[in-house]
Amino acid sequence: MLHFDIQEFDSPDEKGSGSRMQPSTLQMLNDARGIAGIPFKINSGFRTKSHNAYVGGKKLSSHLYGYAVDIHCTDSRGRAIIIDALRKAGFTRFGIGNTFIHTDNDPDKDQDVMWLY
């Protein structure tokens, strides 16, 4: 069962760009949504270079390659549920902000890490 629409992952400046997300990332995210049993609102999925620059993303951001998502979250209980589900689905990279959780499965980046924004 799919728990998302591919348009959720579009860069705001390029309709249809969500289709450039990595299949492995989408599968793991879909699994995590099923495990969590709560909706995930995607703040950011795939990003074009221009949109990544606009939002101040890193030059080699995993969003540029379709490996990353930022999930809206503003409360501690939701954060715990989402991170637990993401871990169970196989994600090992997390960035925690006040209003979002970043996760990615970029094979070119260090694994088993968590950072704060």
H helices of the chain, in order, are: 23-36, 49-54, 76-88
pLDDT digits (tens, 9 = 90+) for 53-108: 999 999 999 999 999 999 999 999 999 999 999 999 999 999 999 999 999 999 99
pLDDT digits (tens, 9 = 90+) for 24-39: 999 999 999 999 999 9
pLDDT for res 4? 87
Q: Which has more pLDDT, 20 or 4?
A: 20
Please, what's the largest Cα pairwise distance for the chain?
35
pLDDT for res 31? 97
Q: Is residue 47 within 8 Å of residue 65, measured between CB atoms?
A: no
Q: Per-residue pLDDT averaged across 6-13, rounded?
A: 97
* Tokens of residue 83, six digits: 């991170």
Give the single-character DSSP code of 66. T
pLDDT for res 87? 98
Candidates 38, 31, 9; CA nearest to 86 is 31
